[in-house]
Structure 1
């Protein structure tokens, strides 16, 4: 159901919430359907995707190389290069730092000696509640990845920052979370 704080903020913004019902849910995702009246008086319907908090990390090695992961993304039918990221559906209230370190270890085998929180972001705020924490990971040590079965096809590679920037320019880097995390880290002067 709709979070009380979100309901209050929507009502203060002039929305009338006629009903809010869960239409579908599984361990990873829930879809809520809200019948509303917009501030201008028009009736409407919102399908809201509810997902847990995630963490995304930019792992930067001492020599400046960046670690990326690539995996097949079923909804779009493509393999995408991305920063390591994820959520723990079995522990939705996990500490963001613990989640970040766990995802880094699971996907890449890297352990971070330094983890800097660079901000938060929403993934699709026009349709989803999912919020993520952005981290810069440094002082990295390699170990064995501890991937889940669904991550068995994952590839890992280390590239230079110049190569990463080239991937952005050439349209090879299309993951919006990775691009937004990179922008936050750079804008805060952490690179």
Structure 2
């Protein structure tokens, strides 16, 4: 959605924008504050995190195993199990498919012969504009990873699908994007 489309939808929903101000920006994230009047007439403030499009990929091998990455997530102080995912802050013109294939190769070294778009999701629509594209990657070939310096501690592990699902049930996987992506892929009967 473009900013104009979003502003139009907000207005049609009864929100009045009083002012907007960018309060922070770095190469990956911007933050703005919108002062508004809610449809109820009450004044309010929205802190909105603006981030670019991302892709999340479930890599499934011919034997049914799935690949996960594990890395330390600084904001929560924990190593998390996740599907490969990411965004390209330097390439606004990249397609979701390009980002998916690139992130898969970069983080895991896997090259996908087949990439299936399984849906979209928002990562925190109550505070962020970031939209993600969910992919299932098949016909995989292993190669060398091309990790960024910030991903140096990342490791890749293959798990049988049943073990991956048990990891979710036990609470070993807590990444909401990974769980939501799996739910979309499963609900569409792709796995």
Give the TM-score, by structure 1 length. 0.98
Partner of 1:190: 190
Matches within 5 A, 1:153-164: 153-164=153-164
Give unmatched runs, 5+ long, in structure 2: none
Distance 2:102 2:165 in 1: 27
- Structure 1 residue runs of 4 or more that deviate by more than 4 Å after TM superposition: none
Q: Which residue of 2 aligns with 1:47?
A: 47
Task: Give the CA deviation at 1:84.
Answer: 0.2
2: distance between equivalents of 1:4 and 1:98?
Answer: 26
User: If the length of structure 2 is used for normalisation, what is the TM-score?
Assistant: 0.98
User: Is there any run of 5+ residues in structure 1 with no aligned partner, and where?
Assistant: none
Task: Tell me the residue number matched to 1:112.
Answer: 112
Aligned mates of 1:93, 1:58 — CA distance in 2: 23
SS of 2:5 mapped into structure 1 = helix
Q: Aligned-pair distance for 1:4? A: 1.3
Partners in 1 of 2:69 and 2:28 — Cα distance? 21
Deviations 1:10-61 (A, max 9, x none): 0000000000111110000000100000000110000000000000000000
Count the aligned residue pairs: 190
CA deviation string 1:61-90 (max 9, x = no partner)? 000000000111111111100000000010
Written as runs of structure 1 = structure 2, the 5 A alignment for 1:1-191 is 3-191=3-191
Question: CA RMSD for the aligned pairs?
Answer: 0.8
